[in-house]
C-alpha cells in the first residue's frame, strides 16, 4: 500500500478493533496448534496464526499503535477446547471468522486491502471446517443415548417417588440404585447392539453411554441429598431436579447445535417436552400409588 488513507475517529476505532481481533486470533490459533496431535491440522493452525499476525501488522500500519489481545477471549476458547473439545471451540471460532469478514467488507470502500483480508478470513473459515474430526463427536450417538435415557427415565422416576414416598433420602437412595442399574443395563445393551453389527468401537461406545447416564444420575439426585428432607423441602428438591434436567438439555443441545450445525430450538423443545412430559405423568402415578396403597412415611 503506497498511500495511507485518512482515518476519522470512527474508522480509526474500527481499525484498532480489527487489530485486537487479529492479534487475539493469532495467539489463540498458536495455543490451539500446540494441543493438536494431528500433524496436518497443527500445520493449518500454525499457518492461520501466522496469517492473522500479518493482518494485525497491516492494521497496525494504519493505526500507528500496538493493541493488546483479548486475554479473556483466548482463555475462554482455550478452555472450551480443553473441556468441551476442539471441534466445539473451532465451530465457535468459525462464527467469529464469519463476523470479522463481514466487518472488513464494510470498510473496503475506504481501505481496499480490507477486502483481501476478508477473503482470507473466509478461507480460514473453510480451513477450520476441514479440520473438524474428533472422537467425542464420533461417539455422540452413544452420549445422546445415555443422556436422553437418563433424563427421561430418572426425572420420571424421581417425580413419582417424590409424591409416593415424600422422603428425601429415601427418594435419593431409590434414584441412585435405579440409576446405577439402568446405566449398566444401557451400557451393556449398547455394547451388545454394536457388537452384533461388528463395530470395532463397541466397548468404547458402551463406556460413553454408561458415563453419560451415570453423570446425569448424579446431577439429578444431588438436590435430594443436599436439601433438608422434611416438609415441603422434598418438593423444592424436585423443582431443582427438574430445573437441572432442563439445564442439562439446554447445555447439551447447544453443544450439538454448535458442533454439528443443528437446530438448537427444535431439538431443545423436543427433548425438554419429552422429559418434562414423562415427569408430569409420573407425578400422577405417584399420587395414585400413595392413595391406593396408603403409603405414609
Domains of the chain, with CATH numbers? Answer: 9-133 (1.20.1260), 136-293 (no CATH)
- Whether 28 contacts 74, CB under 8 Å: yes
With a cut of 50, say whether residue 55 has pLDDT above it: yes
With a cut of 60, say whether residue 54 has pLDDT above it: yes
Q: What is the mean pLDDT of the chain?
A: 82
Q: What is the mean pLDDT of residues 71-99?
A: 81
Of 48-52, 128-132, 221-225, 248-252, the least confident: 128-132
Dump pLDDT digits (tens) for 118-140: 777 777 666 665 665 555 666 77
Instruction: Read off the pLDDT band of 96 (50, 70, 90).
Output: low
- Among 70-74, 145-149, 194-198, 280-284, the range with the most confident prediction by mean pLDDT is 70-74
More confident of the two residues 41 and 66? 66
Note the pLDDT of residue 135: 56
Note the pLDDT of residue 3: 60
With a cut of 50, say whether residue 78 has pLDDT above it: yes
Percent residues over pLDDT 70 in the chain: 86
CA distance 288 to 284: 6
DSSP string for the chain:
--SPPP--HHHHHHHHHHHHHHHHHHHHHHHHHTT---HHHHHHHHHHHHHHHHHHHHHHHHH-S-----HHHHHHHHHHHHHT-HHHHHHHHHHHHHHHHHHHHHTTTT-THHHHHHHHHHHHHHHHHHH---HHHHTHHHHHHHHHHHHHHHHHHHHHHHHHH--HHHHHHHHHHHHHHHHHHHHHHHHHHHHHTT-TTHHHHHHHHHHHHHHHHHHHHHHHHHS--STTHHHHHHHHHHHHHHHHHHHHHHHHHHHH---HHHHHHHHHHHHHHHHHHHHHHHHHHHHHHT---
More confident of the two residues 267 and 126? 267
With a cut of 60, say whether residue 296 has pLDDT above it: no
Dump pLDDT digits (tens) for 153-181: 888 888 888 877 788 888 899 999 998 99
Of 214-228, 230-244, 272-286, the least confident: 272-286
Instruction: Read off the pLDDT band of 297 (50, 70, 90).
Output: very low
Q: What region does 230 belong to: left with phi over 0, alpha with psi -120 to 50, or beta?
A: beta
More confident of the two residues 282 and 56? 56
Dump pLDDT digits (tens) for 205-233: 888 889 988 999 999 999 999 988 777 88
Amino acid at each position: 500500500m503506497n498511500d495511507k488513507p485518512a482515518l476519522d475517529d470512527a474508522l480509526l476505532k474500527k481499525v484498532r478493533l480489527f487489530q485486537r481481533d487479529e492479534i487475539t486470533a493469532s495467539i489463540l490459533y498458536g495455543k490451539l496448534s500446540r494441543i493438536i496431535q494431528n500433524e496436518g491440522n497443527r500445520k493449518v493452525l500454525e499457518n492461520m496464526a501466522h496469517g492473522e499476525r500479518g493482518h494485525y501488522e497491516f492494521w497496525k500500519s494504519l493505526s500507528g499503535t500496538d493493541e493488546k489481545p483479548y486475554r479473556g477471549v483466548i482463555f475462554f476458547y482455550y478452555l472450551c477446547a480443553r473441556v468441551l473439545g476442539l471441534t466445539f471451540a473451532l465451530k465457535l471460532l468459525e462464527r467469529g471468522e464469519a463476523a470479522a469478514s463481514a466487518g472488513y467488507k464494510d470498510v473496503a470502500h475506504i481501505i481496499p486491502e480490507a477486502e483481501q483480508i476478508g477473503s482470507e478470513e473466509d478461507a480460514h473459515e473453510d480451513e477450520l471446517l476441514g479440520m473438524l474430526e474428533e472422537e467425542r463427536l464420533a461417539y455422540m450417538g452413544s452420549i445422546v443415548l445415555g443422556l436422553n435415557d437418563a433424563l427421561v427415565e430418572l426425572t420420571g422416576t424421581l417425580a413419582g417417588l417424590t409424591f409416593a414416598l415424600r422422603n428425601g433420602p429415601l427418594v435419593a437412595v431409590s434414584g441412585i440404585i435405579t440409576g446405577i442399574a439402568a446405566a449398566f443395563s444401557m451400557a451393556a445393551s449398547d455394547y451388545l447392539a454394536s457388537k452384533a453389527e461388528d463395530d470395532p468401537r463397541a466397548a468404547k461406545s458402551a463406556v460413553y453411554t454408561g458415563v453419560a447416564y451415570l453423570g446425569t444420575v448424579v446431577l439429578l439426585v444431588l438436590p435430594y441429598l443436599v436439601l433438608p428432607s422434611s416438609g415441603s423441602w422434598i418438593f423444592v428438591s424436585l423443582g431443582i431436579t427438574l430445573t437441572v434436567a432442563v439445564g442439562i438439555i439446554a447445555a447439551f443441545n447447544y453443544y450439538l447445535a454448535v458442533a454439528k450445525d443443528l437446530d438448537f430450538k427444535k431439538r431443545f423443545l423436543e427433548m425438554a417436552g419429552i422429559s418434562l412430559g414423562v415427569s408430569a405423568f409420573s407425578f400422577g402415578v405417584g399420587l395414585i400409588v400413595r392413595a391406593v396403597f396408603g403409603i405414609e412415611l
